[in-house]
Amino acid sequence: MRLSFIRPISCCSVSSPATSVKLQKPLFLRPPTFKTTISDLKKWHLWAKSLTCSVGSTFLELDNGPDSELLLRELNWLVEDAIQTPKSFLQQPHKNYNDNSSVSIRASLEQLYMLWKQRVEERRPFQYVVGCEHWRDLVLSVQEGVLIPRPETELIVDLVNDAIKENEELREGLWADLGTGSGALAIGIARILGSSGRVVATDLSPVAAAVASYNVQRYDLEEKVHVKQGSWFEPLRDNEGEFVGLVSNPPYIPSKDIGGLQAEVGRHEPRLALDGGASGMNDLIHLCDGAFSMLKPGGFFAFETNGDEQSKFLVHYIETKKQGNFSKVKMVSDFAGIQRFITGFRGR
């Protein structure tokens, strides 16, 4: 099925986010309309590899960025996305230097030179270079202005799944993904809900709202996921008290740490999606404060945090300041063993 590039969202009550934003189509979805020869492509690939190898571990030492080995893996992924038949190209690395047969690619050779230069020299995130990120079993479109979904966040969908299994009411109810970014959580959750389950995804950024809408369309979920532009709970006022679940990966990095981030993150990703104020918890506290009135009794919440310290603080905050409002409030660790999430239920 061919997808229309931008389609207005019919149910969007706050604003139509897609109108003024220029969407970038992921490389792998573009038609392979450019032609080059195997030997020219080989030349590009060799050039890209040698540029990559020259990085060594300098980025790693500088700001904990990628080393050349990680970059080489990304280069393979770029080849996968850019070439119509990547396997035959990658699997015969030394055979075809003089091969003048034609190969179809999804961007011009000049663009490929430019893209990899941007990746290495400007530290442009790989996901912006190819315009997508693989997240769970999804491939989500991303572009500048939208936070690239992180592997840690994949776990929130599993946490939601666990909660749904315990309580079927949650499967058919209304969910919200606050600060949806690319729409990752909203889409991941919509795909595990029952036929009457719905997700409202909000984001303050018009770019994020537009990209999220595009991703929702790509997965044929327009009926299930409604994207609304606006700050946190504001676009949800009409449904106050009706939600069976809230999830969010809000900005949680303390402002003072933004300057020290690896260049891919600090220089290229939207500060709006990263900077959580002095303590990093401005938005998380706002979410904890608002969750009670948004949720139905028995409703579930899962929020991602900066890790151990913030999670401990927030669990304590909910247990003392919101005494009796919530039950089973706990921290959940990510795959690396960091207490990355807080979850709980609104009391009945």
Q: Does 204 bind other proteins (CB under 8 A)?
A: no
Lay out the site mask for other proteins across 47-66 (x = CB under 8 A, - = otherwise). ----------x--x---xxx
* Contact (CB, 8 A) for 153 and 184: yes
Minimum Å gap between C-beta 105 and other proteins is 20
Can you tell me the distance from the alpha carbon of 188 to that of 210, in angstroms, rounded to the nearest whole number? 17
Binding other proteins (rule: CB under 8 A), the pick from 23, 70, 109, 159 is 70
Minimum Å gap between C-beta 152 and other proteins is 5
- SS3 annotation, 110-173: HHHHHHHHHHHHCCCCHHHHHCEEEECCEEEECCCCCCCCCHHHHHHHHHHHHHHHHCHHHHCC
DSSP secondary-structure letter at 272?
Answer: G
Give 283 or 300: the residue with its C-beta nearer to other proteins.
283
Helix (H, G, I), strand (E, B) or coil at 72: helix
- The piece of 40-48, 107-115, 219-227, 263-271 that touches other proteins (CB under 8 A) is 263-271
Minimum Å gap between C-beta 242 and other proteins is 30
Q: Does 137 bind other proteins (CB under 8 A)?
A: yes
Give 273 or 294: the residue with its C-beta nearer to other proteins.
273
Number of residues that bind other proteins (CB under 8 A): 48
* Contact (CB, 8 A) for 339 and 326: no
Give 12 or 338: the residue with its C-beta nearer to other proteins.
338
- The piece of 41-49, 68-76, 232-240, 322-330 that touches other proteins (CB under 8 A) is 68-76
Residues numbered 139 to 158 that lie near other proteins (CB under 8 A) are: 147-148, 150-154
Concatenating the DSSP letter of every residue in 201-265 gives EEES-HHHHHHHHHHHHHTT-TTTEEEEESSTTGGGGGGTT-EEEEEE----B-GGGGGGS-HHH
Residues numbered 265 to 294 that lie near other proteins (CB under 8 A) are: 265, 269, 273-274
Minimum Å gap between C-beta 179 and other proteins is 11
Q: Is 288 exposed, middle or buried (0-12, 13-18, 19+ CB in 10 A)?
A: buried
Maximum CA extent, the chain: 74
Q: Does 177 bind other proteins (CB under 8 A)?
A: no
- Which residue type does 91 have? Q
* Contact (CB, 8 A) for 166 and 137: no
Minimum Å gap between C-beta 125 and other proteins is 5
Minimum Å gap between C-beta 253 and other proteins is 6
Residues numbered 295 to 324 that lie near other proteins (CB under 8 A) are: 304, 306-307
Q: Which residues contact 71 (CB under 8 A, 6 or more apart)?
A: 52, 55, 119, 120
Q: How far is CA 225 from the centre of its chain?
A: 16
- The piece of 8-16, 47-55, 127-135, 200-208 that touches other proteins (CB under 8 A) is 127-135
By CB under 8 A, name the binding residues for other proteins: 57, 60, 64-67, 69-70, 73-74, 77, 125-127, 133-138, 147-148, 150-154, 249, 251-253, 257, 261-262, 264-265, 269, 273-274, 304, 306-307, 334-338, 340
